[in-house]
Amino acid sequence: MPVTIPVDLPDLIEEKAPSEMLGDAPPIFGRCPVCNKPLRPRCKMTGEPKCPPVGTGYESRAKCGGCGTILVYLGNGEWRPLEEGDLTDDDRFADRMGF
Q: What is the pLDDT of residues 59-99, one digit of tens each?
A: 888 889 899 998 999 988 899 998 988 888 888 888 788 76
> Helices (H) and strands (E) in the chain — how many of each?
1, 3
Do 65 and 32 touch, CB atoms closer than 8 A?
no
Domain that holds residue 43: 27-97
Select from 89, 80, 37 the least CA-distant residue to 61: 80
Is 8 contained in some domain? no
pLDDT at position 99? 65
Q: Tally the domains of the chain.
A: 1
pLDDT in tens, 19-72: 444 444 445 789 999 999 998 888 878 888 888 888 888 888 888 989 999 899
pLDDT in tens, 2-25: 444 444 444 444 445 444 444 444
Q: How far apart are CA 61 and CA 80, in angstroms?
A: 10
Is 35 contained in some domain? yes
